[in-house]
Amino acid sequence: MDRSLKPQTVIVVPARLASARFPRKLLAEVSGKPLVLWTAMRIAREAPEFPLWFAVDSEEIGDVLSNAGFSTILTNPDLPSGTDRIAIANETIGAERLINVQADEPLVTRSQILALTKAIEQPGSDMSTLATPIVNSQDFQDPNVVKVVRNADGFAMYFSRASIPYPRDDLDMVKKNALPLLRHLGIYGYTSKFLSAFSALPQGNLEKVEKLEQLRALESGRRIAVVLTKDLSLGVDTPNDLVRVAPFLLAAEIKGE
């Protein structure tokens, strides 16, 4: 590739077929269409100005995407995270800035993508991501809902599957929405320089325990800008999530959104 012609900003979707909580979920169908294709079509509609790539871990899922006209790069299935997968893919793509949309986030919005693009240019930011307010106790206690705590400057202090910050003296504060309870949305922005450095780091102990790749960045002293969004992109972690998200996908398709 001619590096003088490399794109400035691209969207790269890490697409891994294996999933402990929902095996082969990216190929699970909604109205006869695999989940990963719903995500692909959504991104293409919401942000058509950005080149779109899929960093896949198998030819099986790569064929589904390429047969539908999407660009794919085959990556090692043993890579430890989606960010590592994107770092490897960018050795071929050669982009300056990259947006990571999860393959199981078929309702991502244009405003979310643009917010990530803007935040990665924030001074002192190595990485950007999004969060949205938690509004019910069930989500606050659900380990599948990742929480984040920010500092006064809007940078991440910690991400966890646990309930943070924990209201020791008044659990009803969750219902009162009196705490800055934030749900992390697992989409990211990076620079190519950061990605190269990230992929060279060993997995951190916190990352291994929580199974959250962004903790590798925090453990190594990197700063993650966390932007608040009112858009809640419903992810698919379990078969029940797929049932829950299906009506929204079908409704959006009917409206042409």
Q: What is the pLDDT of residues 131-156, one digit of tens each?
A: 999 888 888 889 989 999 999 999 99
CATH code given to domain 123-185+202-232: 3.90.550.10
Residue 3: is its pLDDT beyond 50?
A: no
**What is the rounded CA–CA span in Å between residue 83 and residue 90?**
10
pLDDT level of residue 180 (50, 70, 90 thresholds): confident
Q: What is the pLDDT of residue 131?
A: 95
Q: Quick one: what percent of the chain has pLDDT higher than 70?
A: 93
Q: What is the pLDDT of residue 166?
A: 86
Q: 238-250: per-residue pLDDT in tens? A: 888 899 899 988 8
Instruction: Name the residue among 123, 101, 124 with its Cα closest to residue 112.
Output: 101
Nearest of 226, 228, 227, 200 to residue 83 by alpha carbon: 200
Quote the pLDDT of residue 214. Answer: 96
Position 18 pLDDT exceeds 90: no
Instruction: Give per-residue pLDDT as tens, 208-233.
Output: 999 999 999 999 999 999 999 988 77
For 218, the token pair is 């925090």
Judge whether 1-108+238-257 and 123-185+202-232 match in fold. yes
Predicted confidence at residue 135, as pLDDT, reads: 82
Residue 139: name the closest of 207, 235, 213, 216 by CA.
Answer: 235
Q: Which distant-in-sequence residues (6+ apart) come within 8 Å of 121 by Cβ? A: none
For residues 89 and 55, the answer to whether their CB atoms sit within 8 Å is yes
Structure tokens at 106: 């078929």
Residue-level pLDDT at 222: 95
Average pLDDT rounded to a whole number, residues 31-60: 95
- In tens, the pLDDT along 115-133 reads 999 998 888 889 999 999 9
The pLDDT, as a whole number, for residue 173 is: 66
pLDDT band at 1 (very low <50, low <70, confident <90, very high): very low
2 falls in which pLDDT band (50, 70, 90)?
very low
pLDDT at 22: 86
Give residue limits of the domains in the chain: 1-108+238-257, 123-185+202-232
Q: Does domain 1-108+238-257 have CATH number 3.90.550.10?
A: yes
Q: List the one residue out of 7, 19, 43 whose CA is nearest residue 252.
A: 43
